[in-house]
């Protein structure tokens, strides 16, 4: 049920949005700006269904980038990390502790939605396809491209820490 919900919202919502607006975009030579997540690129533990849905948004965007070139429709995909949003209003995670942890990450982010929007606007103006608004996200993506095993090891360590019994 959680997988169906994540795929329906986070992947199929984007697919349906692209389908709905594509006829207009082809006439106007417009832009598609899909919102994925760093989870699409980093695959953090305990979020498999979300990671897969957001990775699907990246794959869809890569496909459209190529397929729509002839129609002069530009395609961009944004992969933000945590920033201040109302994400917790619809959050579905495996445990209440995870929801609390995500809440802390959202609240502690120094980057606002306005900052993200400004960055996206600037990167689209440069013609960038992959838009990574967070500096740490850009560094993590560069690391994964250069040495993916190092990142996989880090994610495994994170997962092990999440599974470890907590002592008081």
pLDDT tens across 89-119, in order?
A: 565 665 666 655 655 655 666 788 889 999 9
What CATH homologous superfamily does 2-159 map to? NAD(P)-binding Rossmann-like Domain (3.40.50.720)
According to DSSP, residue 11 is labeled I
DSSP 121-156: HHHHHHT-SEE--SHHHHHHHHHHHH-HHHHHHHHH
Residue 70: CB atoms within 10 Å: 8
Rounded Cα gap, residues 54 and 14, in angstroms: 10
Highest mean pLDDT among 25-29, 88-92, 163-167: 25-29
Residue 86 has pLDDT above 70, yes or no: no
- Model pLDDT for residues 44-54, shown as the tens digit of each residue: 777 899 899 99
Give residue 79's pLDDT: 96
- pTM of the full predicted structure? 0.81
50: annotated active-site residue? yes
* Active-site hit among 50, 119, 121, 152: 50
Q: Quick check: 94 and 52 in contact, CB under 8 A?
A: no
- Beta bridge partners, 33, equal 76
């Amino acid at each position: 049920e959680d997988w169906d919900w994540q795929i329906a919202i986070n992947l199929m919502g984007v697919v349906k949005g692209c389908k709905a607006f594509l006829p207009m975009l082809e006439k106007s030579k417009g832009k598609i700006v899909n919102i994925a997540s760093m989870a699409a690129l980093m695959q953090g533990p305990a979020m498999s269904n979300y990671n897969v849905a957001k990775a699907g948004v990246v794959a869809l965007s890569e496909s459209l980038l190529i397929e729509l070139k002839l129609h002069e429709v530009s395609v961009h995909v944004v992969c933000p990390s945590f920033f201040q949003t109302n994400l917790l209003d619809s959050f579905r995670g495996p445990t209440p502790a995870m929801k609390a942890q995500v809440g802390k990450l959202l609240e502690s982010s120094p980057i606002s939605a306005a900052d993200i929007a400004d960055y996206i606007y600037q990167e689209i103006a440069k013609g960038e396809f992959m838009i990574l608004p967070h500096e740490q996200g850009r560094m993590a993506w560069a690391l994964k491209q250069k040495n993916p095993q190092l990142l996989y090891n880090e994610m495994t360590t994170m997962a092990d820490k999440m599974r470890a019994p907590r002592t008081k």
